[in-house]
């Protein structure tokens, strides 16, 4: 019966395909009744803390910090979004509690500012942190249950976002009221020249329908107006034919030895890959190149079904050939303006919004937090990541190979990723940082995950006690290399090449790169694109398969102890980790979904433009593409027949690089796609022969037993020994000949063994 109704809706759409609609009014009504999960608790000092899914704290600094739910409503395609009128009918509003203090929103701060010593509860000395006009008035705040609605598009599907307040507060009477249910009404006029044929591009856009299905409250009732059938749900969840654009330069295309392999790998994973050079997207450098890239994406993302874009090139916003866009989120700020780093922000977010206007006031400064924010659409159209390129093709190829290897692992092989490293350093005397680590540990990690925390000290009340103190670069490096971490999240102050007491660009080069992490850096400046050895890129080169760092100053909330519901740098990290680790999103989906609600002030908006993804935006932490992998096993023995444990074995081909170790019995194991591979092994103080074995994998398990290990001879440092091996005349020549002959005699039986056989067995 349901299928019949869907077919009828579709047929009606076809029948009126050429019909023109007059400008008529319409109304949508959406019930909001599922608010039982929104809860609160009172702390020992009388403050109230709110909890619950899908809530955001949207009050401005100094206002009572109350929770909202942003309700997104899908509009019909003929709706004129400039005529929207939104109202709310309150179903139930009840007094929750009396004699309670609701704290004000703390102001955004960074390294240059501290609010230490000021307390919002000290109403004699701490009034600078309170909006006295609100806290001194015997009225409910906010006056209305809804904030200003925000109209936008999910690609070509029209939506409106309504911030609905869940509690209201009278600060004089110290009384709190809770909303238990409401009906939101949206009135609209229809555009006069609307043709219903415009539904069909959206109906074919599986990516838009999947995005809308997850986020809007009325998808089932409104989807038919866009030509979307219930059967589209299954198709929208698959990767088949999903567009993936690689925006780069012709030089990189010609000189990278792994880019074509990467493209083939993505195609094998079900993506429809579009390799686009400057000849297609328009070229240039700096801002002109940024405009050309966004223009190409805007003109092609629908026709090519693009979901992901990977930018490969120099990210320098002024002269890079595949640049970030320079934006000015705090252009008109009056404080904290010591340098441009406090007010400007290079970003890739510009390439994700293909329908908004980032220069609303037309003054040439894009992304101003006060003048342009109303023109930006927070329903991101595509997910963007980048691999910065500063001239080294070997570095680029290494990153591409590492990315393929990360994806090219079975679920069994990827179990090591169920582990998170959490170094946290205080930002000021009242902001300890460790609360973020505890929130991730307690709220986000699945039951079968583990964690390792590194805090400044073992704070009172921690259960269990912290694993390591204090946080230092050496302690973090040691823990990182001794463990295997699918995710790393830190909080500290930072610079372009360092995160205080956590990591720096030089130390990153010594991290284990065979099991790379996805890293979120809650610190300032770590992703500074003009600095070629910025920490975010240094990690992408070694130690990380993807990294998220701030291109400029990032902003935190002093005294913050709960996360995920506001807009501080730590909130974005929390939401990213929730999406990537808990919900299984791709890196791109996790980052951009963490920025899906419009922030209220320039500092929080700057956090949105700051945090950019270095790496492939389609990576998933555990699920791998549905491809067949083949086992490669082997064993390394010593020349006396005993096993050699602890040797490092590398299996490298065009689409993957595996690094494993031999066990106590000298055996090793990995899994790869079919193809040609080179296998080599090494261990300190041992010569393992032959140097390289070549194997072909064709779907049947491969067993390697050609490696034989010989202890290295100790090198003499006497003058006679140096002469004997120098190739000089006289006695030295005789000694050298004797040395080589002895070596050949010694190695002869080993060479016979090392001629080895590759035995293939099922």
Kindly give the residue spans of alpha helices, DSSP state H, lying in 205-285: 206-215, 219-222, 232-236, 250-255, 259-268, 278-281
| CA gap 57, 66 in Å, rounded | 6
| CA gap 534, 536 in Å, rounded | 6
Residue closest to 558 by CA, chosen among 732, 407, 426: 426
Average pLDDT, the chain: 85
Cα–Cα–Cα angle for 185, 189, 195, nearest 5°?
A: 125
Looking at the structure, tell me whether residues 516 and 659 fall in a common domain.
no
Cα–Cα–Cα angle for 437, 432, 556, nearest 5°?
A: 85
Q: What is the mean pLDDT of residues 162-178?
A: 93
| CA gap 739, 745 in Å, rounded | 10
Burial class from Cβ neighbours inside 10 Å (0-12, 13-18, 19+) for residue 18 reads exposed
Return the SS3 of 676.
Answer: strand
| CA gap 679, 401 in Å, rounded | 16
Residue closest to 434 by CA, chosen among 459, 412, 415: 459
- Residues 6+ positions from 547 with CB-CB distance below 8 Å: 518, 519, 520, 521, 527, 536, 537, 539, 540, 613, 614, 615
Beta-bridged to residue 633, according to DSSP, are 669, 703
**Beta-strand runs (E) in 334-382:** 345-347
What is residue 199's predicted lDDT score, i.e. its pLDDT?
A: 45
Domain tally, the chain: 3
Beta-bridged to residue 679, according to DSSP, are 651, 693
Quick one: pLDDT band at residue 235, thresholds 50, 70, 90?
A: very low
Asked if residue 621 is part of any domain, the answer here is no
Task: Provide, rounded to the nearest whole percent, the portion of the chain with pLDDT above 70.
Answer: 84
Has residue 670 got a pLDDT over 60?
A: yes
Has residue 741 got a pLDDT over 50?
A: no
Looking at the structure, tell me whether residues 331 and 479 fall in a common domain.
yes
Has residue 580 got a pLDDT over 60?
A: yes
Looking at the structure, tell me whether residues 229 and 247 fall in a common domain.
no
Contact 399, 387 (CB under 8 A): yes
CA atoms within 13 A on the CB side of 144: 12
What is residue 116's predicted lDDT score, i.e. its pLDDT?
A: 36
Burial class from Cβ neighbours inside 10 Å (0-12, 13-18, 19+) for residue 148 reads exposed
Return the SS3 of 703.
Answer: strand
Has residue 665 got a pLDDT over 80?
A: yes
What is residue 231's predicted lDDT score, i.e. its pLDDT?
A: 53
Least confident of 54-68, 342-356, 651-665, 722-736: 722-736
- Residues 6+ positions from 430 with CB-CB distance below 8 Å: 115, 116, 558, 559
Has residue 322 got a pLDDT over 60?
A: yes
What is residue 237's predicted lDDT score, i.e. its pLDDT?
A: 42
| CA gap 160, 150 in Å, rounded | 6
Looking at the structure, tell me whether residues 228 and 253 fall in a common domain.
no
| CA gap 297, 275 in Å, rounded | 12
What is residue 49's predicted lDDT score, i.e. its pLDDT?
A: 85
Give the sheet arrangement for strand 675-682, strand by strand. Answer: 657-661, 648-653, 675-682, 693-697
Domain that holds residue 144: 2-236
Question: In this structure, what are the phi and psi dihedrals at residue 198, rounded to the nearest 5 degrees?
Answer: -70, -10
Has residue 232 got a pLDDT over 70?
A: no
Tell me the per-residue pLDDT of 192-205, one tens digit each, with 9 for 90 and over.
Answer: 765 554 444 545 78
How far from 281 is each of 196, 259, 325, 506, 519, CA to CA, in Å?
32, 18, 15, 36, 31
Looking at the structure, tell me whether residues 598 and 664 fall in a common domain.
no
Looking at the structure, tell me whether residues 524 and 668 fall in a common domain.
no
Asked if residue 11 is part of any domain, the answer here is yes
- Residues 6+ positions from 579 with CB-CB distance below 8 Å: 585, 589, 590, 591, 593, 594
What is residue 97's predicted lDDT score, i.e. its pLDDT?
A: 82
What is residue 230's predicted lDDT score, i.e. its pLDDT?
A: 58
Looking at the structure, tell me whether residues 378 and 484 fall in a common domain.
yes
Q: What is the CATH number of the domain that holds 486?
A: 3.40.50.1460
Better-scored residue on pLDDT, 202 or 177: 177
Quick one: pLDDT band at residue 587, thresholds 50, 70, 90?
A: very high
Burial class from Cβ neighbours inside 10 Å (0-12, 13-18, 19+) for residue 640 reads exposed
| CA gap 635, 643 in Å, rounded | 8
Q: Which residue has the tokens 């599922």?
A: 34
Asked if residue 619 is part of any domain, the answer here is no
Q: What is the CATH number of the domain that holds 113?
A: 2.60.40.3800
Asked if residue 625 is part of any domain, the answer here is no
Cα–Cα–Cα angle for 155, 161, 165, nearest 5°?
A: 160
Asked if residue 411 is part of any domain, the answer here is yes
Looking at the structure, tell me whether residues 218 and 264 fall in a common domain.
no
Contact 611, 399 (CB under 8 A): no
Looking at the structure, tell me whether residues 328 and 411 fall in a common domain.
yes
- Residues 6+ positions from 132 with CB-CB distance below 8 Å: none
What is residue 19's predicted lDDT score, i.e. its pLDDT?
A: 33
What is residue 94's predicted lDDT score, i.e. its pLDDT?
A: 76
277 CB neighbour count, 10 Å cutoff: 17
Contact 384, 351 (CB under 8 A): yes
* DSSP line for 92-139: EEEEEEES-BPPBBPPEE-TT---TT--TT-TTT-GGGS-HHHHTSSS
Tell me the per-residue pLDDT of 629-643, one tens digit each, with 9 for 90 and over.
Answer: 888 999 999 999 999
The whole-model pTM stands at 0.83
Has residue 377 got a pLDDT over 60?
A: yes
**Final residue of a structural domain among 614, 649, 678:** 614
**Final residue of a structural domain among 584, 614, 644:** 614
Cα–Cα–Cα angle for 412, 417, 421, nearest 5°?
A: 160
CA atoms within 13 A on the CB side of 261: 24
Cα–Cα–Cα angle for 310, 534, 275, nearest 5°?
A: 15
**Final residue of a structural domain among 551, 580, 614:** 614
What is residue 699's predicted lDDT score, i.e. its pLDDT?
A: 83
Token readout for 312 is: 């490969």
Contact 243, 304 (CB under 8 A): yes
Contact 709, 657 (CB under 8 A): no
Has residue 279 got a pLDDT over 90?
A: yes
Asked if residue 598 is part of any domain, the answer here is yes
Residue closest to 517 by CA, chosen among 544, 550, 536, 542: 544
Looking at the structure, tell me whether residues 205 and 301 fall in a common domain.
no
What is residue 195's predicted lDDT score, i.e. its pLDDT?
A: 54
Looking at the structure, tell me whether residues 224 and 250 fall in a common domain.
no
What is residue 568's predicted lDDT score, i.e. its pLDDT?
A: 96
Asked if residue 622 is part of any domain, the answer here is no
Better-scored residue on pLDDT, 8 or 290: 290
Has residue 11 got a pLDDT over 80?
A: no
Quick one: pLDDT band at residue 5, thresholds 50, 70, 90?
A: very low
Q: What is the CATH number of the domain that holds 708?
A: 2.60.40.1120
What is residue 194's predicted lDDT score, i.e. its pLDDT?
A: 58
Least confident of 399-408, 437-446, 648-657, 675-684: 648-657
Looking at the structure, tell me whether residues 47 and 121 fall in a common domain.
yes
Contact 611, 329 (CB under 8 A): no
Has residue 41 got a pLDDT over 90?
A: no
- Residues 6+ positions from 144 with CB-CB distance below 8 Å: 165
Token readout for 126 is: 């701490």
């Amino acid at each position: 019966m349901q299928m019949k109704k869907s077919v009828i809706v579709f047929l009606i759409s076809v029948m009126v395909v050429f019909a023109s609609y007059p400008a008529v009014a319409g109304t949508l009504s959406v019930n909001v009744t599922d608010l039982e999960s929104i809860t609160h608790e009172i702390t020992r000092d009388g403050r109230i803390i709110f909890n619950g899914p899908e809530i955001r704290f949207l009050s401005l600094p100094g206002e009572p910090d109350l929770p909202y739910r942003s309700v997104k409503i899908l509009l019909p395609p003929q709706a004129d979004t400039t005529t929207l009128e939104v109202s709310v009918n309150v179903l139930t509003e009840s007094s929750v509690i009396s004699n309670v203090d609701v704290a004000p929103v703390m102001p955004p701060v960074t390294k240059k500012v501290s609010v230490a010593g000021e307390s919002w509860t000290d109403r004699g000395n701490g009034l600078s942190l309170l909006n006295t006009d609100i806290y001194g008035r015997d009225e409910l705040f906010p006056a209305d249950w809804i904030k200003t609605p925000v109209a936008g598009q999910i690609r070509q599907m029209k939506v409106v976002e309504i911030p609905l307040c869940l509690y209201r507060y009278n600060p004089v009477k110290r009384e709190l009221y809770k909303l238990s249910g409401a009906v939101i009404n949206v009135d609209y006029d229809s555009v006069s020249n609307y043709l219903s044929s415009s539904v069909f591009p959206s109906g074919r856009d599986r990516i838009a329908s999947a995005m809308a299905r997850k986020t809007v409250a009325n998808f089932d009732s409104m989807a038919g107006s866009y030509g979307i059938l219930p059967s589209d749900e299954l198709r929208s969840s698959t990767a088949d034919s999903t567009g993936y654009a690689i925006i780069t330069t012709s030089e990189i295309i010609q000189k990278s030895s792994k880019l074509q392999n990467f493209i083939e790998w993505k195609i094998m994973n079900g993506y429809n890959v579009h390799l686009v050079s400057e000849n297609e997207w328009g070229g240039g450098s700096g801002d002109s190149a940024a405009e050309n890239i966004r223009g190409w994406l805007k003109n092609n993302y629908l026709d090519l079904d693009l979901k992901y874009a990977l930018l490969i090139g120099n990210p320098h916003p002024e002269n890079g050939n595949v640049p970030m866009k320079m934006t000015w989120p705090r252009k008109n700020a009056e404080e904290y303006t010591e340098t441009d780093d406090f007010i400007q922000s290079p970003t890739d977010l510009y390439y994700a919004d293909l329908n908004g206007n980032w220069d609303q006031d037309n003054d040439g400064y894009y992304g101003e937090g006060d003048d342009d924010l109303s023109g930006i659409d927070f329903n991101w159209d595509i997910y963007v990541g980048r691999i910065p390129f500063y001239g080294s093709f070997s570095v680029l190829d290494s990153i591409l190979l590492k990315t393929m290897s990360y994806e090219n692992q079975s679920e069994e092989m990827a179990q090591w990723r169920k582990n998170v490293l959490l170094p946290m350093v205080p930002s000021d005397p009242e902001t300890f940082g460790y609360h973020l680590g505890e929130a991730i540990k307690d709220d986000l990690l699945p039951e079968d995950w583990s964690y390792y925390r590194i805090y400044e000290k073992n704070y009172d009340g921690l259960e269990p006690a912290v694993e390591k103190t204090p946080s230092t670069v050496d302690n973090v490096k040691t823990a990182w290399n001794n463990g295997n971490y699918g995710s790393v999240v830190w909080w500290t102050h930072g610079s372009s090449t360092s995160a205080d007491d956590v990591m720096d660009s030089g130390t990153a080069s010594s991290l284990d790169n065979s099991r790379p992490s996805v890293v979120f850096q809650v610190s300032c400046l770590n992703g500074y694109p003009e600095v070629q050895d910025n920490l975010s890129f240094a990690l992408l080169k070694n130690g990380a398969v993807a990294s998220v760092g701030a291109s400029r100053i990032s902003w935190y909330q002093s005294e913050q102890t709960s996360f995920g519901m506001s807009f501080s740098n730590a909130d974005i990290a929390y939401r990213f980790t929730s999406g990537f680790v808990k919900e299984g999103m791709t890196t791109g989906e996790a980052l951009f979904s963490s920025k899906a609600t419009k922030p209220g002030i320039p500092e929080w908006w700057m956090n949105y433009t700051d945090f950019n993804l270095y790496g492939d935006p389609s990576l998933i932490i555990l699920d791998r593409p549905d491809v067949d992998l083949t086992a490669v096993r082997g064993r390394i023995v010593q020349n006396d027949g005993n096993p050699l444990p602890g040797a490092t074995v590398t299996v490298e081909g065009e689409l993957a690089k595996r690094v494993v170790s031999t066990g106590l019995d000298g055996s090793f194991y990995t899994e790869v796609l079919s193809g040609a591979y080179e296998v080599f092994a090494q261990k300190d103080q041992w010569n393992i022969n032959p140097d390289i074995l070549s194997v072909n994998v064709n779907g049947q398990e491969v067993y390697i037993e050609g490696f034989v290990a010989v202890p290295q001879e100790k090198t003499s440092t006497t003058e006679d020994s140096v002469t004997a091996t120098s190739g000089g005349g006289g006695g030295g020549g005789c000694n050298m000949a004797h040395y080589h002959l002895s070596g050949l005699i010694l190695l002869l039986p080993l060479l016979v063994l090392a001629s080895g056989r590759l035995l293939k067995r099922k």
